[in-house]
Structure 1
Amino acid sequence: MDSTMEDKLLGPGKECVTDLKGRVWIESKKLWKVASPAIITRITSYGILIVTQSFIGQIGETELAAYALIQIILVCFVNGILLGMASALETLCGQAFGARHYHMMGIYLQRSWVVLLATSIILLPFFIFSSSILRLLGQEEELSAKAGIIGLWFIPIMYNFVFSMTMQMYLQAQQKNVIIGWLSCASFVGHLILSWLFVYKLNWGIPGAMVAMIISTWSVVIGEFVFVFGGWCPETWTGFSLNAFTDIWPVVKLSISSGVMLCLELWYNAVLVLLAGYMKNATIAISAFSICLNITAWEFMISLGFLTAACVRVANELGRGDAKTAIFAIKVNLCTSLSLGVLFSVLFLVFGHVLSYAFTSSTEVAKAVSSLSILIALSVLLNSVQPVLSGVAIGSGRQSLVAYVNLGCYYIVGIPVGVLLGYVAKLDVKGIWMGMISGVLLQTLMLLWITWRTDWDAQVEEASQRLKKWFLTPSEESNDNTNHA
């Protein structure tokens, strides 16, 4: 790929615009070029999970609570590991694209598949024995039995995660993720139709809802394969290569540090839901808490779009060796995301009391959700800042540092505070949510301080060394691909 092609994808590297307004406008265009498709993809992909929960919630309260246990505890556990380990690919592909090591991006993608597929095999027993696991964790017998059935249906979804997450990271690093947005939108519409058909018309119950989700999620992956293998990524995909099995250990180490970082973050909510399950009225507590998490999580998908943009922009600029542009990209991203966070916080304060009825017909559950509207709004505000800072860390390859921050803020501060307020102070679900907020607030402040104190010139040098260490010349890759494309 020549410099003209890079300019089309990345935008001009050294703009002549010197006034602040012009620089903000140029950076905003770059930001939204990555963030917009990512937001659409995140919202629709997560929307499939929400729609499934909504249909299951209409079947019964026990089914709703069982699905919540699997989605927020087990799926969150497994997805945290896979997504975290896949985030290493974001670092490598983003920096490789900025450094114009285009041919290496396909190699990094294949290495990530090898690592994640091996990991998914190790994680498979968690779904097979999900019912027994939940019983050991002290959950009610009826809930555990229902959840065990739902857990088996999530096995195809786990393998979907492996390919959907890595393909998205590979495409967004080269700003070709618009195709994923279109595929995700089509999949979401298809899921609504299939769920209505299988659950309401054919009355298949839980199996119908889960089959609809499997079909919808895998349709996106198949579309991504067609796009990449069909020749729409000629510079970065040159065919399958045996080089995917070389230098695996360094990829594993970066993947593990990435996995720990995001696992600690995603498991945080799962632990809090588990704590809600030990309350007197466990079904109501879990249902209310899971609905609140799903409401904020759906909005959080927008913030994750900005996380993606922060990761891509920082990684691209570090790969190109431009520390000043990386810093400016962080500032523009933070200001934009925070502005939207304020807007959504106000909206949740105004309409929070009616949102719960989209997930349940139970008045008792709806009242429990309504009592948390102020805390939901505060969570939304914090979530507009924290993901951007996490994206900056991923883009610069500092996942291990953030893992320590997450461990301290979430598990040493957030969860103990939630236990004290929820059980000792008798604030129940509200107390647990307050504990969650305290952990997120402390984490946000810590990441702000770390980002502010970072020597970005040193980060440029680290990115350069990392890319040189794993670099293969195009001729080496081409020779290897001759018999394996």
Structure 2
Amino acid sequence: MDAPLLGGAGTTENKDYPAVKEWKEAREVFWIETKRMWEIALPIVFNIWCQFGVNSVTNIFVGHLGDIELSAVSLINSVIGTFAFGFMLGMGSATETLCGQAYGAGQIHLLGVYMQRSWVILFMTSILLLPIYIFAAPILKLIGQQADIADLAGSFSVLVIPQFLSLPFNFPTQKFLQAQSKVNVIAWIGLVALILHIGMLWVLIYVLGLGLTGAALAFDITSWGITISQLVYVVFWCKDGWNGLTWLAFKDIWAFVRLSLASAVMLCLEVWYMMSVIVLAGHLNNAVIAVDSLSICMNINGWESMIFIGVNAAVSVRVSNELGLGRPRAAKYSVYVIVFQSLLLGIIFMAIVLVTKDYFAIIFTNSKVLHEAVSKLGFLLAVTMVLNSVQPVISGVAVGGGWQALVAYINIGCYYLFGLPLGFILGYTENLGVEGLWGGMICGIFLQTSMLLVILYKTNWNKEVEQTSERMRIWGGQDINIDKMGDST
């Protein structure tokens, strides 16, 4: 073709793709969107890998202290931490929607206001969630966890409160940078943080002999180091989006809270769903082996999930930017391309797990019993990896388009009215144990993913552009009617 199919973001050309009717046009669109998507996604994936690596490496160090210590830290990371983390991440996802659409619409000055508004909302949310960390031990006992594991987990939970309090500033700042595709700096910060974290774990746990206290201290320092580094970059190197602290952060804050809550509910229902597997496993016979084997599998699954959480963020940026620019076909084609590629990657990871299922547990523990327990879960882990390759991508589309409320309703039905009860029946009534719990919940993920794919196929992207334009008109500083805001999102 004589000219590019589509002008790039930030260029003066705002033309959308023409309708793709021939194989040559489809191939060109495929490569254009592949390049644009992975230029954003790869640095985000690398950063998320580094941040997940902080948790995973900590589990590896703690796992060699003992099985009880591994169970305690796994419970905090998988239950208490995931509960709070999921809610905070969800509340911060409103910033992802609005910053991405504002940047696409050329209203870059609004990004700093949205980020600060999210700081305020997330900080107040973190204060409300603090009792979960303070009273982690009795909460874990209340949901049926062993007393010795719960007590040790409770002690660790109190020590990582500083790490939790960094999240209200970490998440919105990341979304601010991602919306502008300033993702390389996030990747470099994540890499340096991971390297320093490994060094701190070695010194604090083994050299100084601080055990779990040392692991918690390393968590706290690393998390605040990442957060402060991002803030410094925003203040000194993001002059277009950052114009200093402003009282506008408090203006119309309740309407912003409303969108934040919709985002939080959507993401929390997804994050808490897999967390509940760990909780239910704690009620099985030989709870330590059940929790540890499942936690190891979830850790491996987490490494793959981090790729698609990064793709989730990237597709959210692409969709929100293109909708803000008024280019419906570009938004649609970017979604189709990345869903196809994600499914292909998921199949590759499934094959890798099936080949290595008898061996990867040795990274986390020396226990032969755990090695065998993990191997038995290998097939379920492989299936989960395929589903988790597509599901986060569709969630990213939902965030980019502002569909959080719709996805929340689907999650309730598929996860909590179908998948969770089925897992309980298979795990306890049919005595299939961990395999039954996990298998039933996989069915819920499959149903949810299938429904979202149908919705995605039937989406009217021209209508999505109209709704985005209305949202930008409202949030661009004109009078806000909260009821109307709820309808538009």
TM-score bracket for this pair, using the shorter chain length: over 0.9
CA distance change for structure 1 residues 10 and 170 in 2, over 3 Å: closer, same or farther? farther
Residue in 2 that maps onto 1:69: 75
How far does residue 25 in structure 1 lie from its aligned partner after superposition? 1.6
User: Quick check: 2:145–2:282 contact (8 Å CA) kept in 1?
Assistant: yes
Alpha-carbon contact 1:104-1:472 (below 8 Å) kept: no
Give secondary structure in 1 for the equivalent of 2:192.
helix
Indicate the SS of the match to 2:435. helix
Shift of 1:431: 0.8
2:471 is equivalent to residue 466 of structure 1: yes
AA in 2 matched with 1:358: I
Percent identity over the alignment?
A: 43
Determine which of 286, 289, 304 is the counterpart of 2:294.
289
Which position in structure 1 is the counterpart of 2:305? 300
Listed one character per residue, the Cα deviations across residues 163-196 of structure 1 (whole Å, up to 9, x for unaligned) are 2221111101100011000110111111111111
In structure 2, C-alpha distance between the alignment counterparts of 1:312 and 1:431, rounded to whole Å? 37
Give CA-to-partner distance per residue, 1:283-340, whole Å, 9 cap, x none: 1111111111111011100011111111111101111111111100101111121121
Counterpart for residue 319 of structure 1: 324
CA distance in 2, matches of 1:69, 1:86: 24
Tell me the distance in 1 between the aligned counterparts of 2:183 and 2:360.
Answer: 31
Structure 1 unpaired stretches of 5+: 1-5, 474-485
Aligned positions, number: 467
Task: Determine the structure 2 residue equivalent to 1:154.
Answer: 160
Contact preservation (8 Å) 1:415, 1:436: yes
Counterpart in 2 of 1:367? 372
Match of 2:396 among 381, 391, 407: 391
The CA deviation at 1:34 is 1.1
The equivalent position to 1:185 in structure 2, one of 191, 213, 235, is 191
Retained in 2: the 8 A contact 1:153–1:210?
Answer: yes
Give the Cα separation in 1 of the matches to 2:299 and 2:14: 39
Once residues 144 and 81 of structure 2 are traced to their aligned partners in structure 1, the CA distance between those partners, rounded to angstroms, is 18
8 Å contact from structure 2 (residues 15, 327) kept in 1:
no
* Contact residue 65 and residue 286 of structure 1 kept, 8 A: yes
CA contact (8 A) 1:80 1:263 kept: yes
Q: What residue number does 1:280 align with?
A: 285
Q: Give deviations 1:108-138, integer Å, cap 9, x for gaps.
A: 0000011100100000111011111112212
CA contact (8 A) 1:168 1:180 kept: yes
Call closer, same or farther: CA 1:11–1:178 in 2, change over 3 Å. farther
Instruction: Indicate the SS of the match to 1:462.
Output: helix
1:107 to 2:113 alignment: yes
Paired with 1:236 and 1:300, the residues of 2 have a C-alpha distance of 30
Aligned mates of 1:314, 1:13 — CA distance in 2:
15
Q: Distance in 2 between matches of 1:237 and 1:7?
A: 23
> What is the 5 A alignment of 1:217-232?
217-230=223-236, 232=237
The answer for the alignment partner of 1:414 in structure 2 is: 419
Other-structure match for 1:336: 341
Q: Could you tell me how far 1:341 is from its partner in structure 2?
A: 1.1
Offset at residue 154 of structure 1 (A): 2.1
Contact kept in structure 1, 2:160 and 2:219, CA below 8 Å = no
TM-score by length of 1: 0.94
Compute the displacement of 1:279 (Å).
0.7
Residue pair 2:426, 2:433 contacting (<8 A) in 1 also: yes
Post-superposition shift, 1:61? 0.7
Seen in structure 2, the aligned counterparts of structure 1 residues 395 and 406 have a Cα distance that, compared at 3 Å, is same
Query: Aligned to 2:89, which of 83, 94, 97?
Result: 83
SS of alignment partner, residue 385 of structure 1: helix
* CA deviation string 1:81-128 (max 9, x = no partner): 100110011100000001001000100000001110010000011101
C-alpha change, 1:448 and 1:8, in structure 2 (3 Å) is: closer
Partner of 2:15: 14
- SS in structure 1 opposite 2:313? helix
Q: Gaps (5+ residues) in structure 2?
A: 1-6, 479-489
The worse-fitting range, judged by mean Cα deviation, of 377-386 and 159-168 is: 159-168
Q: Could you tell me which residue of structure 1 aligns to residue 175 of structure 2? A: 169
Q: Which amino acid aligns with 1:344?
A: F
Q: Corresponding residue for 1:271?
A: 276
Asked if the contact 2:282–2:288 (Cα under 8 Å) also holds between the matched residues in 1, the reply is: yes
Contact preservation (8 Å) 1:9, 1:174:
no
1:8 deviation in Å?
A: 6.3
User: Aligned to 1:195, which of 192, 201, 205?
Assistant: 201
SS in 2 for 1:53: helix
**Structure 1, 251-260 or 417-426: larger mean CA deviation:** 417-426
Q: For 2:467, give the aligned amino acid.
A: E
Q: Give 1:10 deviation, angstroms.
A: 7.4
| Matched-pair contact (CA < 8 Å) for 1:84–1:255 | yes
User: Counterparts of 2:14 and 2:279 in 1: how far apart (Å)?
Assistant: 48
Q: Encode CA deviations 1:213-253: one digit per residue, 9 max, x unaligned.
A: 222222111111111111x1111111110000001011100
Are residue 56 (structure 1) and residue 62 (structure 2) matched? yes
Aligned ranges 1:26-41 → 2 under 5 Å: 26-41=32-47
| Cα RMSD, aligned residues only | 1.6
- One-letter identity of the residue aligned with 1:204: L
1: CA distance, partners of 2:169 / 2:133: 19
Q: Is the Cα contact below 8 Å between 1:10 and 1:30 reproduced in 2?
A: no
Contact 2:16 2:329 in 1 (8 A): no
Q: What is the aligned counterpart of 1:128 among 102, 124, 134?
A: 134
The residue that corresponds to 1:254 in the other structure is: 259
AA of the residue aligned to 1:323: P
Cα distance in 1 for partners of 2:128, 2:397 equals 30
Task: Give matches, 1:397-476, under 5 Å.
Answer: 397-472=402-477
Alpha-carbon distance between aligned partners in 1 of 2:66 and 2:241, rounded to the nearest angstrom: 48
Contact 1:247 1:470 in 2 (8 A): no
User: Is the contact between residue 163 and residue 221 of structure 2 (CA under 8 Å) also seen in structure 1?
Assistant: no
Structure 2: how far apart are the matches of 1:354 and 1:164?
Answer: 36
Give the partner amino acid of 1:35: A
